[in-house]
A and B are shown apart, each in its own frame.
Chain A
């Protein structure tokens, strides 16, 4: 009897971690690795039509090699879309994170009253779904139905067209900033709260002003949170889809392929070409990965260097 347990025990110990890993691994493979693998496989194939393409057997799926990828990379529309999103990101990310940091510092300062209410008020837009937010702002941007334009008109002030040209970027960015600032503020604020009080005490004893405390102590100490929020913001920016898609019917300025993700959607569900869409999706995913992790690594290296100093 002891023999059997002795023989069994090493096996049990060895197998246990794998058994615990099993559910997660299965779920990961089934709902993450498999779909991604399938998308990648689709991206290497294409549909070929023979003759007029009418009747059965006129279409068949064939191996395309890298054709979809070269098509996507040489497609000026995809590149233009990437540039548009870059322009949009250059407005959204600094403004949103700047405001989030500012609000977090203000909430953290001792002079602010009604902190919970204010915090909730700034956070609230984040709870509103992106599509609803875009619709809401869309109405406010349309001169004929917007109360702002009504006021501008009454005051005899110029009424800029926010859904056209350069202002369109501001209009879109505004929606993202309005919706995202609260979330980032909470992240930064939470990390401010975890700074030990002794640090502030020491600073005050040394005669530091509140502004100096904010600049020299608080901001450097929440730097990891700033890196994290920056990281999230880059990803969110590269994946912008619902805001321009919702504003599209309201104006001639947003095309069906305004952002790279909109192009993927258009190719898959407008043109019905899932193979081209899969290739573009793979490229976007790769670009997102490189950009965001590249940034993370650069940030980590800097903080390590600083720690070493």
Chain B
């Protein structure tokens, strides 16, 4: 089926090539005309900054040859866009291409908003790490998106202040806790870091590293494992640190947090590969003073990390030109020039393994000029990413996390009961929607 569709597209494209080239040369594009034959125009919803410049490369290069013009419509990121896509899909008016975070894919697929493009992009599988690709298939034979960027998690710390207080970079979480206590003793007004309840992705990534699988399927039933042993271990660990006052309990991304990082009142941050960009704006005065290390491990023998962030490019079921859209999605996320431009203009860390060490990633980020092997290290860490397991109501679990853990962090109380609340609310929502949930 995909093959015949593609062939039809090629033949029709050739058939009108003569007439259309003159059109394209004039710089005009067919906005919403006949999509069966002739030049194809696609709309792409994305939040990546500078994406229009990357798309220009396509429209002037391969896109021009293939008569496929892509128009970028800049969107808000994350959950807001998921809602917008679903609303548009209800009206049958979703754009051809959308950017979607990995954890949003099951929600989108479950609403029948994303098309199976396995026929068109299946060949790209080899360009990505297995754990990354698996997120776009949801464990089925279908492929619902092409991975764009990933966010392998890492440990960031102030090299100078670690030296000043005689702290060692922690290899295990046990050492991490010791480091936090040691710092508190040496400088009571300082914190190693904070436990923030306002970004659920961080906690999800930490649980993933510990081996948690929050959503799995059993036959025709979903199984929710948010309150599983691995996640409980993570929750107890951070809850313990907050309770004893070894780390701070205030949220991230506030003016206060920026100031704490900028003035060295917080001297480390458990984050992901994109942290240099955040630190550049949050703590501009600390340039060149940070260093990156692998995430602490749960035992000496392990070497795993979780992921925090990352997104993919999907083709919607509403698109009338799925083959053309899939072709663009594959080009965008596997072509060397495209990825290089994405890195330069959009500041993303590519999911494509070959791109992780080339082009823009041969030099460290400006903010980390002191660590020349930043991206070599990052690529090694990315390889150790634990598999993730997303389900159809990640958004509900994420909201439950923010509220339950926000309260627990504020009152420095038991994180275990917050985790229970999160599990309960997630299961209740699945059941309310009519999903069968395995016990």
Contact = CB atoms under 8 A, between A and B. Distances in A.
A270 B79 contact: yes
Contacts of A145: 255-256, 259
A66 to B, nearest CB: 15
Contact of B86 (A256, A266, A272): A272
B118 to A, nearest CB: 13
Interface in A103-147: 139, 142-145
A144 B259 contact: yes
Contacts of B395: 270-272
A126 to B, nearest CB: 25
A269 B83 contact: yes
A167 to B, nearest CB: 13
Interface string A144-164: 110000000000000000001
B111 A59 contact: yes
B143 interface: no
Contacts of B220: 51-52
B251 A255 contact: no
B301 to A, nearest CB: 35
B388 interface: no
B82 interface: yes
Contact of B110 (A53, A164, A250): A53
B217 A52 contact: yes
B285 to A, nearest CB: 15
B406 A59 contact: no
Contacts of A307: none
A55 B112 contact: yes
**A48, A49, A253: most-surrounded residue (chain B CB, <10 A):** A49
B203 to A, nearest CB: 14
A271 B399 CA distance: 8
B317 interface: yes
Interface residues of B, number: 45
A251 interface: yes
A209 interface: no
Interface stretch (B122-130, B345-353, B374-382, B427-435): B427-435
Interface in A253-280: 253, 255-257, 266, 268-272
Counting chain B CB atoms within 10 Å of each CB, the highest count among A58, A144, A253 belongs to A144
Interface in B54-89: 79-80, 82-83, 86
Nearest to B144: A54
A53 B250 contact: no
B251 A266 contact: no
A252 B406 contact: yes
Interface in A17-75: 47-59
Interface string B384-415: 00000000110110010011001101100000
Contacts of B79: 269-270
Contact of B112 (A58, A164, A272): A58
A12 interface: no
Nearest to B109: A54
Given A144-B255, A256-B403, A48 B434 contact: yes
B140 interface: yes
B389 to A, nearest CB: 13
Contacts of A268: 83
Given A54-B140, A142-B254, A144-B260, A266 B399 contact: yes
B407 A255 contact: yes
Contacts of A220: none
A294 interface: no
A249 interface: yes
Contacts of B221: 52
A270 B409 CA distance: 22
Contacts of B156: none
Contact of A252 (B217, B249, B259, B396): B249
A253 to B, nearest CB: 6
A52 B406 CA distance: 31
Contacts of B222: 52
Interface string B91-133: 0000000000000001101111000000000000000000000
B210 interface: no
B410 A164 contact: yes
Contacts of A142: 254-256
B1 to A, nearest CB: 15
B138 interface: yes
B254 A252 contact: no
B110 A59 contact: yes
A56 B198 CA distance: 33
Interface in A226-251: 249-251
Contact of B435 (A52, A139, A257): A52
B438 to A, nearest CB: 11
B237 interface: no
A271 B79 CA distance: 9
Nearest to B411: A252
B256 A143 contact: yes
A53 B198 contact: no
Given A142-B255, A144-B255, A269 B80 contact: yes
B235 interface: no
A144 B429 contact: no
Contacts of A272: 82-83, 86, 107, 395
Given A53-B392, A249-B254, A256 B399 contact: yes
Contacts of A48: 433-434
B109 A250 contact: no
Given A142-B254, A271-B395, A256 B402 contact: yes
B165 interface: no
A37 B197 CA distance: 39
Contacts of A59: 110-112
A250 B399 CA distance: 16
Given A52-B222, A59-B112, A145-B259, A271 B429 contact: yes
A58 B220 CA distance: 12
Nearest to A139: B255
A143 B189 CA distance: 14
B436 interface: yes
7 contacts: A49-B435, A52-B392, A53-B435, A252-B250, A252-B410, A253-B406, A269-B80
Interface of A: 47-59, 139, 142-145, 164, 249-253, 255-257, 266, 268-272
Per CB-CB distance, the 5 closest pairs between chain A and chain B, nearest first, are A144-B256, A252-B406, A252-B410, A49-B434, A53-B110
Given A58-B112, A253-B410, 5 more contacts: A52-B222, A54-B138, A56-B112, A144-B255, A250-B255
